[in-house]
Structure 1
Amino acid sequence: MTVEEIQLTEMDDESIRAFLTNRKMGVLGLPTDDIPYLLPMSFGYDDESTLYFTFVGGPDSRKRGLIEGTDRARFLAYAAESPFSWESVLLSGTVEAVPDEEWEDILPVVEAAWRPDVIEAAMETEDVTVYRFAVDAWTGYKHTGLPPGFDVDEPT
């Protein structure tokens, strides 16, 4: 199979929004002096153009230091059901800590994020910071092709 034969479809804005609404995990890429620092992250999505991440832990964590040291990041959300059915969305945007006084306004979005039990438990005793990822560019692709040799136009 050649690249030209791959049935790849670029997602429009509506499809990207729908995809993000149904995803709860992705990979946050933060800049470093060397190579990007990649973190699996759960997220809340406001159905428009903002993701919210909850960081748990003290001020000395590497991820907290990196996110505080930048205002730009990338985020990748994806789903791979099979080699012939997958979707991915790559987002670029700005990141900033959400002030405590704004938390009540975004609480439903933040609470909708999936989190492992260990993170939920740690939130009760550790420092929690919520970060806003304001999307300024996104692109998405999906592949919904058929396996090689499977042609729906051929008679059975």
Structure 2
Amino acid sequence: MSTDELLESSAAAMTDDRIREFLTEQGVGTLALPDDDAPYLVPMSFGYDGASALYFTFLLFGPESRKETLSERASGARFLVYEARSPHEWRSVNLRGRIEAIEEDDWADLREAMANAWHPDLFSSAEPMRGVRGYRFRIDEWTGIRQGGSVE
């Protein structure tokens, strides 16, 4: 089913304000990075600056990181955030943008935006970790759809 067909059903497009609100409420999504044969998908905790960017960190283990390598060479990426409360009430926002590393001395925006991010405790005991890199996902385009819940 295409997005247009979906919107003709009981689903509805989300306004920009609803998308901003949704991104502020959420703290986890899926980052899609371009790769040779198929996109590389990574579940990510994120923070949203309320305007035009998502922020996240990569915890780096081992001598190299596939997500770090793919992020560095990507000219564009996608990020998906969704919430499914029931088969009749759900929201989904699809973002297209550019990903860029943030130097450690410029992490003020990242720290502020990450206040709402969800963080698994799995990585707190993982070793050996070689570092943490901060990233900004600059949003170029977004679309949001929802079914059920409050009316816009």
Greater shift in the superposed pair: 65-74 or 102-111? 102-111
Question: What amino acid maps onto 1:102 in structure 2?
Answer: D
Specify the SS of the correspondent of 1:34. coil
Q: Distance in 2 between matches of 1:32 and 1:116?
A: 26
Match of 1:19 among 18, 22, 29: 22
Specify the SS of the correspondent of 2:107. helix
Closer, same or farther: CA 54–121 of 1 in aligned 2, 3 Å: farther
- 2:146 is matched with 142
Q: Distance in 1 between matches of 2:123 and 2:116?
A: 14
TM-score (norm 2): 0.85
Specify the SS of the correspondent of 2:50. coil
* Matching of residues 62-141 of structure 1 within 5 Å: 62-121=66-125, 126-141=130-145
- 2:52 is matched with 49
Question: What amino acid maps onto 1:17 in structure 2?
Answer: R
Contact 1:6 1:143 in 2 (8 A): no
Contact 2:77 2:98 in 1 (8 A): yes
Question: What amino acid maps onto 2:40 in structure 1?
Answer: Y
Closer, same or farther: CA 124–34 of 1 in aligned 2, 3 Å: closer
Question: What amino acid maps onto 2:9 in structure 1?
Answer: I
Q: Distance in 2 between matches of 1:17 and 1:60?
A: 34
**Number of corresponding residues:** 144
Specify the SS of the correspondent of 2:113. helix
Specify the SS of the correspondent of 1:47. coil
Question: What amino acid maps onto 1:104 in structure 2?
Answer: A
Q: Gaps spanning 5+ residues in structure 2: where?
A: none
Q: Distance in 1 between matches of 2:107 and 2:140?
A: 22
Specify the SS of the correspondent of 1:17. helix
Closer, same or farther: CA 38–104 of 1 in aligned 2, 3 Å: same
Q: Which structure is larger by alpha-carbon Rg, 1 or 2?
A: 1
Q: Distance in 2 between matches of 1:94 and 1:42?
A: 17
TM-score (norm 1): 0.83
Specify the SS of the correspondent of 1:92. strand
Question: What amino acid maps onto 1:14 in structure 2?
Answer: D
How large is the Cα RMSD of the aligned pairs? Answer: 2.3
- 1:33 is matched with 36
